[in-house]
Amino acid sequence: MTSAPGAPAARTSASDRVARLLAVVPWIAAHDGPTVDEICERFAVSRRKLLEDLEILMLVGVPPYTPDTLIDVTIEGDRVWLRFADVFARPLHLTPEQGLALVAAGAASQGLPGGDREGPLATALAKLAAVLGVEPGEAVSVTLGETRPGVLEALRSAVSEHRRVRLDYYAYGRDERSSRDVDPHAVVAHGGAWYLHGHCHQARDRRLFRVDRVVDVEVLDATFDPPPESEGDTPLVLGPDVPRVTLELAPAARWVAETYPVDDVSDTEHGWLRVRVAVTATPWLERLLVRLGDDARVVEADQPAHEDAGPVAARRILSRYGAG
């Protein structure tokens, strides 16, 4: 049951208001006179809206709509009692969307460092699974990304305390390990990996770091002024000055076009694909070419060194094997 995409906003809010009442009524009825404030906070509704809704409730019931079959609303000294609300004694069941949102959030949260695997979240998820009819811990699993123990926690606390960090960082694209001092702005999970947005003092600019490439992190005493809200984690884009290569990819190598940002995609003969990719660092291209072998051909490169990056890398690896 999904609400139709693009349904008018008025329709959505109609359902929202009814849906909220169908959740609020059983809760009030099951409690002995909760206060208006308590209800408002618990159900995230304004006092004015709640009182409006309660007024309408007095006109709701079942046939023959005599006083004892209409919901009886009593508001006294800021406390609320509901009687004759048996028809709404339980909330409406959870839709698949609502069940999924809770189970997935719970599963993902359990996977975070320090995640609750035995405490209240775990027992809540087990109870919820029983009600939804799924196997606890089995129906949905969410892995946000790998990190080394302690790294994510240290980065998150540094972000919230505005403390500078020193990263022992392995730059995969450049294939080099270096030490960076970074003002950490935000930690986000995206596309199955964790990223740190921050200002890198070596680069003197904003940089994006993969948290799984952080070998070690030291939280320094130095603090920094956090950037304005909106700038902390805006995506970084590849500039026009990054050199490009044009590749031809065999059908088996089409995944490259799905995995990396490419432009100028065109079909060539026998199901091959021609694409242009940005090469942020030479080792990245070397890696791609030695893995793909005959399934990729460099057609054109902005930098001459990129033209034979594949054979050059293959020879270097061969020398490690004592061959070639």
Site for another protein in 209-228 (CB under 8 A): 212-213, 215-216
Q: For residue 47, state whether it binds another protein (rule: CB under 8 A).
A: no
Q: Which of residues 125-144 bind another protein (CB under 8 A)?
A: 125, 127-128, 130-135, 138-144
Determine the Cα–Cα distance for residues 6 and 153; give it in Å rounded to an integer. 40
Cβ contacts of 83-91, under 8 Å, gap ≥ 24: 83/29, 85/25, 85/26, 85/29, 85/57, 87/61, 87/62, 88/22, 88/25, 88/26, 88/29, 89/26, 89/29, 90/26, 91/22, 91/23, 91/26, 91/27
C-beta of 97 vs 300, nearer to another protein: 97
Measured in whole angstroms, the distance separating CA 324 from the mean position of its chain's CA atoms is 46
Q: For residue 180, state whether it binds another protein (rule: CB under 8 A).
A: no
Structural element, H or E, at residue 107: helix 96-111
The one segment of 72-80, 82-90, 243-251, 265-273 that binds another protein by CB under 8 A: 82-90
Q: Which of residues 184-213 bind another protein (CB under 8 A)?
A: 185-193, 212-213
Q: For residue 59, state whether it binds another protein (rule: CB under 8 A).
A: yes
C-beta of 148 vs 276, nearer to another protein: 148
CA-closest candidate to residue 198, choices 210, 209, 214: 209
Q: For residue 10, state whether it binds another protein (rule: CB under 8 A).
A: yes
Q: For residue 113, state whether it binds another protein (rule: CB under 8 A).
A: no
Determine the Cα–Cα distance for residues 284 and 307; give it in Å rounded to an integer. 14
Q: What residues form DSSP beta bridges with 306?
A: none
Determine the Cα–Cα distance for residues 86 and 92; give it in Å rounded to an integer. 13
CA-closest candidate to residue 155, choices 224, 218, 215, 223: 218
Q: For residue 78, state whether it binds another protein (rule: CB under 8 A).
A: no
Q: Rounded to whole angstroms, what are the CA distances from 246 to 238, 263, 307?
A: 16, 9, 10
Q: Which of residues 257-296 bind another protein (CB under 8 A)?
A: 283, 286-287, 289-291, 293-294
Q: For residue 9, state whether it binds another protein (rule: CB under 8 A).
A: no
C-beta of 48 vs 241, nearer to another protein: 48
Q: How far is the CB of 20 from another protein (least distance, A)?
A: 6
Q: For residue 116, state whether it binds another protein (rule: CB under 8 A).
A: yes
C-beta of 14 vs 241, nearer to another protein: 14
- Binding residue (CB under 8 A) for another protein from 37, 49, 75, 97: 97
Measured in whole angstroms, the distance separating CA 211 from the mean position of its chain's CA atoms is 15
- Binding residue (CB under 8 A) for another protein from 36, 51, 104, 250: 104
C-beta of 135 vs 218, nearer to another protein: 135
Q: For residue 305, state whether it binds another protein (rule: CB under 8 A).
A: no
Q: How far is the CB of 196 from another protein (least distance, A)?
A: 10
